[in-house]
Amino acid sequence: MNKTNFLLDADELLPIIDILRDGLLQRPMPEGTPHRDLKAALKSAESFFKSTSKITKTRRNLSARDLQKTAQGMVEGYHCLWQRPFPYGLEAGQTLASAVLERPIRDMLRSLQRIVEQSERDNLPAEPLIHLDAEEEMAHFNNWHARLPQYQRMKVAPQRKYDTVSLATAFLLGWWIGMD
């Protein structure tokens, strides 16, 4: 787990909360040509993983702008996953892959809402915790993937910096964000 400090007022979290909430509520409906294969479908959400990776690897204090950029990247990747349908015969994977992205977005949204509520009551803990986890959702996706015929499965060895194996690891580690 990674512990990161951020310096901001709770009011600065309100626009970030709006981004996350609206992103979940305004998910696009898949339309157009389906992705050519499962790997291409999951690659469409790359901005989600890039933004979460950046924030978990930071070694400096985070600003509201940093958190906002992360939230925007998470929502953008989530929406990209839904813009086009999954390949024919693999449609169930879209809902399962989506759950892997939705869970951290929901976790971050709830955590930020809780921080704002606690700050309004002057009851903010010394180190507010934002823990993002999609382990259960990733397990459901992996179980589904393992039951696919061999020709429909993705290769396990990552070929890019942000492939599914390294991306799943980011979810399992979670985030610790403390406040100075």
Give 124-143 pLDDT, tens digit per residue. Answer: 665 556 667 788 999 999 99
Q: How confident is residue 72, by pLDDT bands cut at 50, 70 and 90?
A: very high
Please check the confidence at residue 33 and state whether its pLDDT lies above 90.
Answer: yes
Determine which helix (DSSP H) or strand (DSSP E) holds 83, and give its type and residue range: helix 64-83
Quick one: average pLDDT of 146-163? 66
Enter the pTM of the model. Answer: 0.77
Q: What is the pLDDT of residue 128?
A: 56
DSSP lists the bridge partners of residue 6 as 62, 179
Q: What is the pLDDT of residue 57?
A: 72
User: E strands within the chain?
Assistant: 2-6, 175-179
* 58 vs 3: CA distance, rounded Å: 9
Please check the confidence at residue 51 and state whether its pLDDT lies above 90.
Answer: no
Main-chain dihedrals φ then ψ at residue 40, nearest 5 degrees: -65, -40
Q: What is the pLDDT of residue 27?
A: 93
Quick one: average pLDDT of 72-86? 95
Q: What is the pLDDT of residue 127?
A: 58
Highest mean pLDDT among 39-43, 52-56, 102-106: 102-106
Residue ranges of domains in the chain: 2-179
